[in-house]
Amino acid sequence: MSPVTVVVDALLIVGVVVELVCCVGIVVMRTAYDKLHYTGPASIVGPLAFALAIVLREALSQAGIKALLVALLLIVASPVLTHATARAIYIRERDHVEDPHS
């Protein structure tokens, strides 16, 4: 078993464990804001681990670059989606957004 294979397997295990823990967290947490925290690691740590594993196996071939692109896209999209969802929850609870300058 080569060192690269060991690292790839370890990255896959890390990715899967992080994703599954986040899925459990979504069920266990009580409020929507608490649940929102669990989308972070699922969209950052997991994709990064899988993309690194694919790059280690395939090098920077077409597959490796596309895997990195997917991870990058998920990492960039995660905070945007989290912010939009938190804003939606806030507005739905209070029926308005408070103006900090008024």
Partner 1 sequence: MNVWLIAAGALLIGLIPCGIVIVRRPVLEALIALELASVLNTLVLLLLAEGFHRGPFFDLALVLALLSLAGGLVFARLLERWI
Give the shortest CB-46-to-partner 1 separation in angstroms: 6
Residue 53's contacts (CB-CB under 8 Å, 6 or more residues apart) are 7, 8, 11, 12, 15
81 touching partner 1, by CB under 8 A:
yes
DSSP characters over 43-57? HHHHHHHHHHHHHHH
Structure tokens at 87: 């804003």
The widest CA-to-CA distance across the chain, in whole angstroms, is 65
Give the shortest CB-102-to-partner 1 separation in angstroms: 20
- In the shown chain, the binding pattern of residues 33 to 52 toward partner 1, with x for contact by CB under 8 A and - for none, equals --xx-xx--xx--xx--xx-
Quick one: 27 or 100, whose CB is closer to partner 1? 27
Number of residues that bind partner 1 (CB under 8 A): 46
Which of 4, 6, 59, 73 binds partner 1 (CB under 8 A)? It is 73
Give the shortest CB-100-to-partner 1 separation in angstroms: 18
On whether the CB atoms of residues 36 and 82 are closer than 8 A, the answer is yes
HSE, side-chain direction, 13 A CA sphere, residue 59: 1
36-58 in b/e form (b: 16+ CB < 10 A) is: bebbeebbbbbbbbbbbbbbebe
Residues at the site binding partner 1, with contacts judged by CB under 8 A = 8-9, 12, 15-16, 19-20, 22-24, 26-27, 32, 35-36, 38-39, 42-43, 46-47, 50-51, 54, 57-58, 62-63, 66-67, 69-70, 73-74, 77-78, 80-81, 84-85, 87-89, 91-92, 95
